[in-house]
Amino acid sequence: MTPSPVDDAIVRAHREEWARVVATLTRRFGDLGLAEDCAAEAFATAVERWPRDGVPPNPGAWLTTTAARKAIDRLRRESRRDEKHQEARLLFDDDPPAPRGAIDDDRLRLLFTCCHPALAQETRVALTLRMVGGLTVPEIARAFLVQETAMGQRITRAKAKIKAAHVPYRVPTADDLPARLDGVLTVLYLVFNEGYLASGPGTDPVRHDLTGEAIRLTRLVRELLPGAGEATGLLALMLLTEARGPARVSSTGELVTLDEQDRGAWDRDLIDEGHALVRDTLVAVAAGGPPPGRYQLLAAINAVHTYARDAHDTDWSQVATLYDRLAALDPSPVVALNRAVAVAQVDGPEVGLALVDRLPLDGYHAFHATRADLLRRLGRSAQARDAYDRAIELAGNTAEAAYLRRRRGQLGATDAG
């Protein structure tokens, strides 16, 4: 059975209008939980009425008005004291719809509230997916392999904290904006990565629901804060990564590394869009804007990879230079590991291995996978085998483990010396 045009309209309205409805109601009534409940009720009403009455000419306005009426009804039912005060608040009933700009600001406020630093990182992720992304609690619980009741409690507690502690509903001041925006982008990147390299033995290797949602929300941030180079960088990074998705897992469910991917299977539209965004950030930096942060640098690295029509044409010295700059910003061992991979391509596996061996990453599967590959290229099969063993043991992603097992199987029986 194909979905009817009304079903399509409801799905589209949910995707496009959910955050707007929640955000507008939160501003108007000052209560995130109430906004969420009434938004959900308004969509349920749409599911009931639109097939019968037809899709309204402006679905967003219809949903906002319907949700606001439900909120007012509920507040009226609940207000048993201070009637005059409540009535005064409810006079906003017939507000004209806010102009577009103001609504966009509401969504931005909503995002900053959900990603407030007083909330735990995992709570920020869950709350953002619920309030801004419109995912249901069971969907979020499934995405993060958490029991539905536990996820529901996490979100309920967060809403209670926001209300009781009076977490402000506003875009941070210019002074705080860079740090707070970084917090928002971290949440979106976590969502993307969970989708792109899903963990857990029973999960699909790539979760397009999560990568797609992260891209959509990052687009929204960029639309709302067009001057934020890091938001542009993160969007470009996600697009250039997502573009390689079709070539990244083989028909047998095995991870295909960048050098072995069928580059013809990459999504050209996403790559073109990602490249255009990287060019935008380069132009902004050249025009005297702030220096590129980590997402812009990671996007540029991905652009270098995706410019090469063939893996052999990759400009590895450019990649290594970009990783140098990233390492200067972020001296973490994981960045150093990626830098070592690029250096190995430029200066040889021996130089790369010397850099890798210094890193305190024994519990990280990619560290052992990288060592294994460098040792293999140096002909040190026995050591490579041990490193593959460790990497397989630590790999959480099913496709990646399959790839590593194949690679281990291909090792020569004896050392080249």
Contact footprint for other proteins (CB under 8 A): 78, 80-81, 116, 118, 164-168, 172, 176
Host H or E run for residue 149 = helix 148-164
> CB of 34: closest distance to other proteins in angstroms?
12
In the bound state with other proteins, the residue whose beta carbon lies nearer, of 116 and 365, is 116
Nearer to other proteins, 27 or 390 (CB): 27
CB of 117 to other proteins, least distance (A): 8
Please state the closest distance from residue 306 (CB atom) to other proteins, in A. 40
- The one-letter code for the residue type at 407 is R
Q: Which residues are within 8 A (CB) of 229 and not within 5 positions of it... i.e. 6 or more apart?
A: 281, 284, 285, 289, 290, 292, 293, 296
Tokens for 65, please give them: 């008005």
Query: CB 342 → other proteins: shortest distance, Å?
Result: 39
Nearer to other proteins, 110 or 238 (CB): 110
Determine the distance from the C-alpha atom of residue 6 to the mean position of all C-alpha atoms in its chain, rounded to a whole number: 30
Based on CB atoms, which residue is closest to other proteins, 78 or 310? 78
The residues that bridge with 249 in the sheet, in sequence order, are: 255
- The answer to whether 13 and 63 are in contact (CB under 8 A) is yes
CB of 91 to other proteins, least distance (A): 20
Closest CB 168 distance from other proteins, rounded Å: 4
Question: Cα–Cα distance between 154 and 144 in angstroms, integer?
Answer: 12
31 vs 400 by CB, closer to other proteins: 31
| Cβ closest to other proteins, residue 81 vs residue 84 | 81
- Backbone φ, ψ for residue 249 (5° rounding): -125, 130
Kindly tell me which of 176 and 393 has the beta carbon lying closer to other proteins: 176
Supply the minimum distance, in Å, between the C-beta of residue 102 and other proteins. 20
CB-side exposure of 201: number of CA atoms within 13 Å? 3
Which of 372, 363, 364 has its CA nearest to residue 341? 372
Q: How far is the CB of 97 from other proteins (least distance, A)?
A: 27
**Measured in Å, how far apart are the chain's first and last C-alpha atoms?**
64
* Angstrom distances, CA of residue 131 to CA of 113, 135, 361: 10, 8, 36
Cα 153 to Cα 155: distance, rounded to the nearest angstrom = 5
Cα–Cα separations (whole angstroms), residue 169 to 93, 155, 156, 393: 21, 17, 17, 45
Nearer of residues 119 and 228 to other proteins, judged by Cβ: 119
CB nearer other proteins, residue 80 or residue 100: 80
| Residue 110 near residue 22, CB atoms below 8 Å | yes
CB of residue 142 vs other proteins: minimum separation in angstroms?
A: 31
Which residue number, 1 or 164, has a Cβ lying nearer to other proteins? Answer: 164
**CA 147 vs CA 124, 137, 140, 152, 211: distances in Å:** 17, 10, 10, 9, 21
- Residue listed under structure tokens 């539209």: 269
CA distance 330 to 299: 15
Rounded to whole angstroms, how far apart are CA atoms 111 and 177? 13
Beta bridge pairs of residue 255? 249
Smallest distance, other proteins to C-beta of residue 29, A: 13
